[in-house]
A and B are shown apart, each in its own frame.
Chain A
Amino acid sequence: MTYIEKPSISNVIKFDEHNVAQVDKLTVMLNTGTDIYQGACKKRGSTLKDEYRKVAGVAYMDPKDMAKLGVGNWDSVLVKSDWGAVVVYAAHSRDAPHEGMIFIPKGPWANVIVSNETYCCSDPTYKGIEATVEKSDKEVLLMADLMREVYKKYTKKAEGVN
């Protein structure tokens, strides 16, 4: 049983890799969950700051998938699922290779695209969701801006006054 011997993956993303066909849209499986950087930032309380966007508003992708899309680290990508769409950063996963799978740490960004369906089991389906990834030129929103754009709880009132 030698699964522990993993092929090593270079940290450099090769855009001109010959056996990688360029695509505009990638169909992937989305997983969410905790991550030590997200956990530390969230529980310290620094959720309004840029660092929270950098640790939770990010999709960790396989370098080959990133090459297919032609995105580099910290480029914006649009992730869409049946439940919504959100712009997050793309970043090279340190658990690669896992082609066809992306990981977004739990947080307001991941919430937009995960399923709230509990199938009568109290627990929403946070993992194993079908999604698509495409390149985006939009900037990833900070937490407060994202909450305003997604939920619009108080924006209507504020706009009326302005």
Chain B
Amino acid sequence: MAYEEPITDYDKIVENCTCAFCGSNCDDLDILVKENSVVGVRHACRLGASKIMEDEDQRLKVPMMRDENGELVEVEWDTALDAAAELIANSIRPLFYGWSETNIETMKPGLELTELVGAVIDNQATICHGPTVQAVQNVGYPLMTLGEVKNRADMVVYTGSNPMNAHPRHLSRYTTYPKGWFRKRGRYDRTLVTWDPKYSDTAKLSDIWIPFEENGDYEFVNAIRAVLKGKKLTKDVIAGIPIEDIYELTEKMKNTQFGALFFGLGLTHTLSKQRNIDIAIQLIQDLNKYSKWVLLPMRGHFNVNGFNIFMSYEMGFPYGVDFCRGYPRYMIGETTTIDLLNRKEADVFLVIAADPGAHFPSGANMHLVDIPVIQIDIHWGPTTELADIVLPGTFVGVETEGTSYRMDSVPLHMKKAIDPPETCREDEWIVTELLNRVKKIKEASK
């Protein structure tokens, strides 16, 4: 990589901003501001920096609606909001999806709107760590905060995740490299283990790499549990790993002082889905007979955990909550976004701070062709190609303040560094405005 001169041409530094990218929510970012635009960012990783130094060309700046030719054209805020409110108020099975890349403050009016119209509210957990939440409900949640890992952990295991690609500062800020209270020498005092079929960028840094075969996670973890319980393995090779190595690894895991297991979508996206997580959590429970072990899912968006916590507090269910009967219901496989789209059930789709166009299988997205789509976002993305009404929001963490929850459920304040573009509105304002307009329509029709 070519050497770049440090940026010296700036008006002010906004210190200790919280990053608005992944679930690590690094809160030590310094944003360099000149004439109300971001000219640089310090301490962020490649991902965080790329998001904060956003692509201005594709920024959504004005509300838009489709004209008769199917082209998106600029409209007034009032026109767009009224049209969106009209669609929501007159729908039978509205689906409000997203929420993970906005602040908690926006979710409040969002939930009120959901209750008012009897909609389904769901977030990105439905396509990433949904099975994790189900497993947590099945067998428990032996979690910790990342500070504990930093100060205590002497063995860190990553499985089904590749933090060097998805959470680049996770190792350097929280788990492996930092010097902690009981781990004075940082990296030298810790063993980094990766279980992954792929020789991923994290595996390349690891002390031990266990390449179990594809879809072999359940079998492999079960084998470790069997060894922990004193059983003898009868096969020579399990999930592609020779049993001597499984015995050796189990012994090492038993003899650590504090171990932490981090798992990602490699476990939830394969066929065994939540059963993979069940078994991983049970492994941690078994290991606690010998030593202290904890586990944590590697959450993707900076506030995807926040939505689950918010909904659990408010409604008792973490995601995929259905209000069509007037009270909250939660039924995995029935009230979750992909299933609703697969069954072609939803009739209005509101997407806020999410990009189903980029992240849903096209089999599910096909239903968005037949129904109106309302998008609240900051960039022109794949979903904009399917959207009928586009409402430009503001950038939480750079242009708007807010609260977000880190992957270990620690709430963090997100600072504001610059003012948003004049024609954009905060997500909270947009959702509150939609709520008020829908209320008016409902009252008028009584």
Contact = CB atoms under 8 A, between A and B. Distances in A.
A45 B55 contact: yes
B363 A108 contact: no
B323 interface: no
B256 interface: no
A138 interface: no
A123 interface: yes
B380 interface: yes
B58 interface: yes
B206 interface: yes
Interface stretch (B122-130, B224-232, B409-417, B426-434): B122-130
Nearest to A94: B201
Contacts of A1: 208, 245, 248-249
B292 interface: no
Interface in B117-158: 126-128, 130-131, 134
Contacts of B385: 143-144, 147-148, 151, 153
Given A44-B50, A45-B54, A123-B126, A34 B382 contact: no
Determine the interface band of chain A, counting residues with CB < 8 A from chain B: 35 or more
B309 interface: no
Interface string A8-36: 00000000000000000000010101111
B197 A98 contact: yes
Given A116-B361, A151-B368, A122 B336 contact: yes
Contact of A83 (B69, B200, B214, B362): B362
Interface in A36-52: 36, 39-48
Contacts of B382: 47, 107-108, 143, 147
Interface stretch (B3-11, B89-97, B270-278): B270-278
Contacts of A103: 198
Interface string A43-83: 11111100000000000000000000000000000000001
Given A108-B382, A116-B342, A122-B339, A3 B46 contact: no
**Which of B47, B59, B249 gathers most chain A CB within 10 Å?**
B47
Interface in B20-79: 21, 46-47, 50-51, 53-55, 57-59, 66, 68-71
Given A4-B208, A45-B380, A125-B271, A95 B198 contact: yes
B364 interface: yes
Contacts of B357: 108, 147
**Which of A4, A96, A158 gathers most chain B CB within 10 Å?**
A4
Contact of A147 (B66, B268, B332, B386): B386
A95 B200 contact: yes
B332 A106 contact: no
Interface in A95-116: 95-98, 101, 103, 106-108, 111-112, 114-116
Contacts of A158: 69-71
A103 B165 CA distance: 14
Give me the 7 closest cross-chain CB pairs, A-B, nearest first.
Answer: A154-B70, A120-B333, A116-B363, A45-B379, A122-B336, A116-B361, A40-B50
Interface of A: 1, 3-4, 6, 29, 31, 33-36, 39-48, 83-84, 94-98, 101, 103, 106-108, 111-112, 114-116, 118-128, 143-144, 147-148, 150-155, 157-158, 161
Given A4-B206, A124-B361, A127-B270, 10 more contacts: A1-B248, A33-B269, A34-B165, A95-B199, A120-B332, A121-B274, A121-B332, A121-B333, A122-B131, A151-B362
